[in-house]
């Protein structure tokens, strides 16, 4: 598509429009100002959300991308604006979130002179991006952005950064947009080897105690229907990783719970008792495996994975099937024999009942005077919509919300998984809500994490995004405090927080707010929050020293999971 000579800044915006970018999250500054000037003329074609910090912008883009399945876009200026994106880039890379981040840069003739707000953002972001590039000439802008979108969304998704010098933005050039459909040396689609499928099917058919572990790859591969069909035919017990939550409805008969350090008792205990372990779209994170030297040594391991780098990276597998699991699962379902495993499944249910008696009842129907985090999330389930999105920060509340939120739909789980970024939730919830104002977005935060990005309440105020924020306040950095209690002789070193009046802060931003500390007020407060037409801030004061169980301590085997 060709046009008259226009500014590079206009080429940036028009290329974003051609790539069907609906919304940009960003923060203006000197080196990106020409692009912001261009946006003024295209406000009817592309929406911009002014966040209160660049880290807020990139986390919002992540939230938008995770819920929509589209590429999230953010803008920042050079120097500190660009460096403030680094945490979000690292977070997006490890969690496979597709982003295109555009930063301004000083003019090309000033590069390397330590000019005002000059930083080598390309060098800094190289380890935490899927691809990055610096554009110094106007004619390179459209091809770079088109290539960036292709790389971000194709194969295993991830973040891309484009650094554009100021002269490239202000110079005039011909707008010649050509979509990127591929390029040499970058393979985006792997054809599934049918002989690999046959070998996997033979191992599965011969298994007496098969077990499926599924991760976010099922969601990213849009393979939810194929995954369900595979489980319907085989009857194999299936447990999810943190980011895999929602890929399978929790009321599916094969679903047996959540994996990992604070996952469910049965999925962890029985990992070392299965005879065939089928990993689908997951990467054997250390929070899932525990001590890898004692992980599933008795089992034949089959790994269905898109990224060859993940095969045998952490856990040695007996057989791998490369390719998008949407393709491999369809072929595998055809190849396997229909079965059921009632006795094996009952083993999971036995451990489930044990966990229910020892942990769940304490969490959701407590005898303590103070409120628990678990009962708050349990009550949210009573009022939320089936497609409600849960966005969590990082810490005890994250693990409790994950454990007790009832996932029924795909793309309803948004959290910082691999990097564990405190401050993620509030801006990510904003981004998720900006994709669809009609959906419930429930943001669960702790009193530590929210204070890292609390300024994004201002963005919620300005956009009127109807995010429902639940602050679980225990006046501690709760997860660190739990470890200090269990492994450092209750030496609570710098984890207790003197907190502000959060409700007053939210009210200052024009957000309807309420504080609850009594159990008799909880249900009505949650119902009021979820039916409110607009953003809502609910602070719930919870037990100060409540802990999250089950738990696998660092260095322990999965079967050393503790219930107390």
3-state SS assignment for residue 50: strand
Q: Is 564 inside any structural domain?
A: no
Confidence of residue 168 (pLDDT cuts 50, 70, 90): very high
12 and 136 both lie in a single domain: yes
131 and 210 both lie in a single domain: no
Which domain-ending residue is among 174, 209, 244?
Answer: 174
CA dist 350 and 385 (Å) reads 30
For 450-478, what is the mean pLDDT?
97
Confidence of residue 1 (pLDDT cuts 50, 70, 90): low
Say yes or no to pLDDT of 147 above 80: yes
Confidence of residue 3 (pLDDT cuts 50, 70, 90): low
pLDDT digits (tens, 9 = 90+) for 59-113: 999 999 999 999 999 999 999 999 999 999 999 999 999 999 999 999 999 999 9
Q: Which domain holds residue 500?
A: 365-541
When the pLDDT of each residue in the chain is averaged and rounded to a whole number, the result is: 96
Sheet of 468-473: strands edge to edge? Answer: 413-414, 389-392, 441-446, 468-473, 536-541, 512-516
CA dist 355 and 561 (Å) reads 11
pLDDT digits (tens, 9 = 90+) for 519-560: 999 999 999 999 999 999 999 999 999 999 999 999 999 999
Say yes or no to pLDDT of 369 above 90: no
CA dist 163 and 378 (Å) reads 45
CA dist 349 and 494 (Å) reads 41
Is 233 considered catalytic here? no
**Looking at the DSSP assignment, which residues form a beta bridge with residue 45?**
none
Is 273 considered catalytic here? no
289 and 148 both lie in a single domain: no
455 and 537 both lie in a single domain: yes
Q: Does residue 72 contact residue 47 with C-beta atoms inside 8 Å?
A: no
Say yes or no to pLDDT of 451 above 90: yes
For 9-32, what is the mean pLDDT?
98
198 and 332 both lie in a single domain: yes
Catalytic: which of 18, 22, 33, 117? 117
Q: Is 416 inside any structural domain?
A: yes
Q: What share of the chain is helix, strand, coil (3-state, %, to 5)?
A: 40, 20, 40
Is 116 considered catalytic here? yes
CATH at 427: 3.40.50.970
242 and 323 both lie in a single domain: yes
For residue 396, CA distances in Å to 257, 315, 382, 437 come to 18, 28, 22, 28
Q: Does residue 401 contact residue 377 with C-beta atoms inside 8 Å?
A: yes
pLDDT digits (tens, 9 = 90+) for 283-313: 999 999 999 999 999 999 999 999 999 999 9
Q: Among 138-147, 178-187, 272-281, 530-539, whose mean pLDDT is lowest? A: 178-187
Catalytic: which of 5, 45, 116, 316? 116
* Predicted local distance difference test score (pLDDT) of residue 2: 55
Catalytic: which of 54, 305, 375, 456? 54
158 and 200 both lie in a single domain: no
Catalytic: which of 479, 502, 515, 551? 479
CATH at 215: 3.40.50.1220
Say yes or no to pLDDT of 344 above 90: yes
295 and 254 both lie in a single domain: yes
**Strands 512-516 and 468-473, how do they pair?**
unpaired
343 and 374 both lie in a single domain: no
Catalytic: which of 70, 147, 166, 300? 166
342 and 376 both lie in a single domain: no
């Amino acid at each position: 598509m060709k046009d008259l000579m226009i500014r590079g800044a206009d080429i940036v915006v028009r290329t974003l429009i051609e790539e069907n970018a609906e919304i940009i999250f960003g923060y203006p500054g000197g080196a990106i100002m020409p692009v912001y000037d261009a946006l003024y003329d295209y406000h009817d074609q592309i929406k911009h959300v002014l966040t209160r910090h660049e880290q807020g912008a990139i986390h919002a883009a992540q939230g938008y991308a995770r819920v929509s399945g589209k590429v999230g876009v953010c803008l920042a200026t050079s120097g500190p604006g660009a460096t403030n994106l680094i945490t979000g880039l690292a977070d997006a890379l490890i969690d496979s979130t597709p982003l295109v981040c555009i930063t301004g840069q000083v003019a090309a003739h000033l590069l390397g002179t330590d000019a005002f707000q000059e930083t080598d953002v390309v060098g800094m972001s190289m380890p935490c991006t899927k691809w990055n590039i610096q554009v110094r000439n106007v004619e390179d802008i459209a091809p770079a952005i088109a290539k960036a979108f292709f790389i971000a969304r194709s194969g295993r998704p991830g973040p891309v950064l484009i650094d554009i010098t100021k002269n490239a933005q202000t110079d005039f050039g011909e707008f010649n947009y050509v979509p990127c459909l591929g390029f040499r040396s970058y393979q985006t689609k792997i054809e599934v080897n049918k002989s690999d499928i046959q070998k996997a099917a033979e191992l599965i058919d011969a298994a007496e105690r098969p077990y499926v572990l599924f991760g976010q790859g099922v969601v990213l591969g849009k393979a939810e229907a194929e995954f369900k069909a595979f489980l319907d035919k085989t009857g194999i017990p299936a447990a999810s990783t943190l980011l895999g939550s929602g890929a399978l409805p929790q009321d599916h008969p094969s679903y047996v719970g959540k994996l990992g350090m604070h996952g469910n008792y049965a999925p962890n205990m029985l990992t070392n008792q299965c005879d065939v372990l089928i990993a689908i779209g997951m990467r054997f994170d250390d929070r899932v495996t525990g001590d890898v030297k004692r992980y599933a040594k008795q089992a034949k391991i089959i790994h269905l994975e898109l990224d060859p780098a993940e095969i045998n990276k952490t856990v040695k597998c007996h057989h791998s099937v490369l390719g998008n699991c949407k393709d491999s699962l369809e072929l595998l379902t055809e190849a396997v024999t229909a079965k059921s495993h009632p006795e094996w499944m009952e083993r999971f249910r036995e451990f489930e009942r044990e966990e229910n008696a020892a942990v769940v009842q304490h969490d959701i129907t407590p005898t303590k005077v103070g409120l628990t985090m678990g009962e708050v999330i349990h009550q949210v389930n009573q009022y939320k919509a089936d497609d409600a999105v849960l966005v969590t920060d990082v810490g005890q509340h994250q693990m409790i919300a994950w454990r007790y939120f009832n996932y029924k739909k795909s793309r309803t789980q948004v959290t910082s998984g691999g990097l564990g970024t405190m401050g993620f939730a509030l801006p990510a919830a904003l981004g998720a809500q900006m994709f669809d104002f009609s959906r419930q977005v429930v943001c669960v935060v702790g009193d530590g994490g929210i204070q890292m990005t609390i300024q994004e309440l201002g963005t919620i105020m300005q956009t009127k995004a109807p995010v429902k924020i639940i602050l679980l306040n225990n006046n501690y950095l709760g997860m660190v405090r739990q470890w200090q209690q269990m492994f450092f002789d209750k030496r609570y070193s710098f984890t207790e927080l003197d907190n502000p009046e959060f409700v007053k802060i939210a009210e200052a931003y024009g957000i309807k707010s309420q504080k609850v500390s009594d159990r008799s007020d909880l249900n009505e407060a949650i119902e009021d929050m979820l039916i409110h037409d607009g953003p809502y801030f609910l602070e719930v004061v919870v037990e100060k020293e409540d802990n999250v169980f089950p738990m696998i301590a660092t260095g322990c085997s999965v079967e050393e999971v503790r219930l107390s």
